Amino acid sequence: MKPALIRYRGWFACLLCALLLPGCAGYKLGPVTKLDYQSIAVPMFKNRTYQPQLEAQITNALIKRLQTDGSLAIRSTDDADTVLTCEIISYRRMMLRGRRIDTTVPAEFRLTIEARVEAHDRITGKVILPPTVVSGQAETLVGSDQQSAERQALPLIAEDMARRTASLLLERW
C-alpha cells in the first residue's frame, strides 16, 4: 500500500472522530427533567366504589412503576418530600359486543376505572400536582364467568393508571 494512501486514511479517521465525538458531549445519566422533589410517599388509595380490592392493586402498580423509573425514591409519609393522595372515584363496565344467541349478555366489555390524584409538598403544602382525574381501561372477553374476566383485567387497568399517574408526576414540561 502506498504511504500517501495510509496517511489519507489516518487523516480521514481523525476527521471522522472529530466530527462524531462532540455529539456525545452532552450525554449524562439520570432523569431528563429536574424535579423540585426527590422522594414521594404513596399512601393507600381511597376506594369510593363498591368494587373490593381496587385500591391495593392500583397503589401497588403505581409504586412499582415509580420504582422502575427510579427518578423518585419511595418513602414513608413522614420522610418524603412529596405526598401523593389518590381516591378511586368510579368503576364502569361498557358492553362492546353481545353474545350471538342473546345480545343483552356481554361477550366482550371495556372496564374503566377513574381516580382523582394530587400531590403536595409535605413541608410547605405547595401544590405539585393539582387534583387531576386519571383513568385506566382494559377490554376483556367474557368466558363462562364475568367476575373472573374482570379480575383478569384489573392488573392491566392498574398498570395503565400507574403509567399515566407516573407520567404526570415525572414529566413536568
In a domain, residue 118? The reply is yes
In a domain, residue 9? The reply is no
In a domain, residue 135? The reply is yes
| Grid cell listed for 46 | 381511597
Task: Give the model's pLDDT for residue 70.
Answer: 85
Q: Side chain identity at 53, as an amino acid letter?
A: Q
pLDDT tens, N- to C-terminus, the chain (173 residues): 566 656 677 777 777 676 676 666 565 555 555 677 888 999 999 999 998 889 999 999 999 999 998 888 899 999 999 999 999 999 998 877 766 777 666 678 889 999 999 999 988 889 999 999 999 999 888 877 777 888 888 999 999 999 999 999 888 65
In a domain, residue 11? The reply is no
CATH code at 47?
Answer: 3.30.160.150
In a domain, residue 5? The reply is no
In a domain, residue 106? The reply is yes
Measure the CA–CA gap between 56 and 42, rounded to whole angstroms: 11
Greatest CA separation for the chain: 86
In a domain, residue 154? The reply is yes
Measure the CA–CA gap between 59 and 115, rounded to whole angstroms: 11
Task: Give the model's pLDDT for residue 105.
Answer: 67
Task: Give the model's pLDDT for residue 83.
Answer: 94
With CA atoms as reference, report the closest residue to 173 among 26, 32, 30: 32
Domain count along the chain: 1
Which residue segment(s) compose the domain that 36 sits in?
31-170
Measure the CA–CA gap between 105 and 88, rounded to whole angstroms: 27
In a domain, residue 129? The reply is yes
Give this prediction's pTM. Answer: 0.75
Count the neighbouring beta carbons within 10 Å of the beta carbon of residue 1. 6
- What burial class does residue 53 get, using C-beta atoms within 10 Å of its C-beta: 0-12 exposed, 13-18 middle, 19+ buried? exposed
- Check if the beta carbon of residue 62 is closer than 8 Å to that of residue 79: no
Measure the CA–CA gap between 90 and 137, rounded to whole angstroms: 12
Question: For helices 54-69 and 146-170, what crossing angle results, to 10°?
Answer: 40
